[in-house]
Amino acid sequence: MEHSHRYRAYPSDEVAMAAEHHIDVHRQLYNHVKWDYTNSPDDGKPSEYTQNKKLTQWKRQWPVFAELHSKAAQATVARFHDNLSNLRKKKEKGYNVGWLKRQAPSEYRSVTYNQSGFDLDNKRGRDGYAYVRFSKIGWVKIRYHRPLPEHATIKEVTLKKEVTGEWFVSFSLNTDEEHVPEKPSIDTLDASNSVGIDLGILNYIHTSDGNTVDWLDLGDEYERLHREQRKLSRKEHGSQNYEKQRRKVAKVKRKIRRKVLDYQHKLTTWLVREYDAVFVEDLNVAGMLQGDGNARNKQDAAWRQFITLLEYKGDLYGTHVVKVPTCGTTKECACCGVETAKPIWVREHLCPACGFETDRDANAAMNVLQRGFSELGLGWPESTPVETVTAVDAATFQRVSASHVVETGSPEA
């Protein structure tokens, strides 16, 4: 299982200057890799392996590239080809994609060391701190707020400078399957230890067993963001005042991003601790954002990030996390299966065939649960959510506040 830990870094002025220089050289190498690939004939595009072999020649031709650690330089070549592969996959899925562009100094802000060229010393600093050595850059102090897992192997280390000016060190870790919690047997799953989740906007999630979870109130943060952006628009582009205000805007955006990520971490932890199996809709978030209405709200919800975290936490805590098709979960009746068209403003489900009445999102969550059992090859359990949840009145569903999720989803809980 692969996962990562991220730590705030505090390099000295000398090390920070060396790191910024190395990052810029890696940016130049990335652009040269792109140039070499673009200017090769269509029937002879170089592979990652081929361009790695060219590094020796490039270092002789341009001595600045010789300043880089060999594994870090190879990671930069891999970075280009990974981006190229991701672009190709999106194109195959029908997305309208462009072409990889040259990286400007403001856009390329990290360097990765793969397999070698780094060391972690967690005994050198005082409690709560450690040091990481990056070859040809130096030692970087980090706030070691949580130790790396005992059975995890460090695959690579990334040093990054954010747009706010802050530095971070990220460890990409790999844990052997034998040290990962074993997931419950599929045969033991039923409606009492499994849950279907409908992702919404009025409520962040609605579960098949009758819980609704509120979304964060980010109104004050967005009001401040708009205020700082208006100030930025009045500054002369490129001036020192513009740079200062740009950092203020970046810090407000960072605060919003951190609040959302922290909330999602705690919500997903709560779900994988509470249930043996979690079923969630496999949303086409990119397509939803291109549709009319509520685009800002959909983007704020960060559903794709939520689903990714849920899958990662499922492996970490030994919980089944299964994505199910989304088509028809809102229209289909969870009791009899008859489809009923509903405009977005209709918040109740009332089946004309069987008379089943419940909240629109609750009905969708029940359908997600049912489809989740089908994905696992299980029959629909005798104790269905329709029978176990009082679904006559939406007001009977239990509302879970954001503060409750934060409390129960915290690692200390």
Is a pLDDT exceeding 50 seen at residue 295?
no
Co-location of 128 and 191 in the same domain: no
pLDDT tens per residue, range 134-143:
999 999 999 9
Co-location of 95 and 58 in the same domain: yes
Co-location of 248 and 211 in the same domain: yes
Domain total for the chain?
Answer: 2
Co-location of 151 and 215 in the same domain: no
**Residue where one domain finishes, among candidates 175, 194, 219:** 175
- More confident of the two residues 151 and 252: 252
pLDDT tens per residue, range 179-195:
778 888 888 888 888 89
pLDDT in the model for residue 90:
85
Co-location of 155 and 52 in the same domain: yes
pLDDT in the model for residue 76:
96
Tell me the H-state helices in 209-339. Answer: 219-233, 240-274, 285-290, 295-301, 303-317
Answer whether residue 379 is part of any domain.
yes
Cα–Cα distance between 405 and 257 in angstroms, integer?
Answer: 18
DSSP H or E stretch at residue 140: strand 138-143
Answer whether residue 180 is part of any domain.
no
Q: Are 134 and 109 in contact (CB under 8 A)?
A: no
pLDDT tens per residue, range 12-62:
999 999 999 999 999 999 999 999 999 999 888 999 999 999 999 999 999
Answer whether residue 181 is part of any domain.
no
Q: Are 143 and 166 in contact (CB under 8 A)?
A: no
Co-location of 159 and 196 in the same domain: no
Alpha-carbon torsion angle 140, 243, 106, 221, nearest 10: 80
pLDDT in the model for residue 108:
95
pLDDT tens per residue, range 332-383:
887 887 777 777 777 777 787 787 778 788 888 888 888 888 888 876 655 5
pLDDT in the model for residue 408:
55
Co-location of 14 and 159 in the same domain: yes
**Residue where one domain finishes, among candidates 175, 196, 224:** 175
pLDDT tens per residue, range 209-250:
888 888 888 889 999 999 999 999 999 988 999 989 999 999
pLDDT in the model for residue 397:
47
Answer whether residue 106 is part of any domain.
yes
Co-location of 195 and 155 in the same domain: no
pLDDT tens per residue, range 386-400:
544 433 333 344 555
Q: From the centroid of its chain, how far is CA 192?
A: 29
13-49 b/e (C-beta count within 10 Å ≥ 16 → b): eebbebbbebbebbbbbbbbbbebbeeeeeeeebebe
Answer whether residue 100 is part of any domain.
yes
Q: Which of 306, 277, 239 lies closest to 368, judged by CA?
A: 277
What's the angle, vertex CA 180, arms to CA 177 and CA 183, rounded to 5?
A: 105
| Mean per-residue pLDDT of the chain | 84
Cα–Cα distance between 325 and 163 in angstroms, integer?
Answer: 37
Is a pLDDT exceeding 70 seen at residue 285?
no
**Residue where one domain finishes, among candidates 175, 207, 229:** 175
Domain assignment of residue 249, given as a range: 186-408
pLDDT in the model for residue 394:
35
Answer whether residue 404 is part of any domain.
yes
Co-location of 314 and 260 in the same domain: yes
pTM of this structure: 0.75
Answer whether residue 104 is part of any domain.
yes
Sorted by sequence, the CB contacts under 8 Å of residue 17 that are 6+ apart come out as none
- More confident of the two residues 159 and 183: 159
Is a pLDDT exceeding 70 seen at residue 203?
yes
Answer whether residue 413 is part of any domain.
no
Co-location of 34 and 167 in the same domain: yes
Co-location of 252 and 361 in the same domain: yes
Q: Residues 104-115: what's their mean pLDDT?
A: 92
Co-location of 169 and 213 in the same domain: no
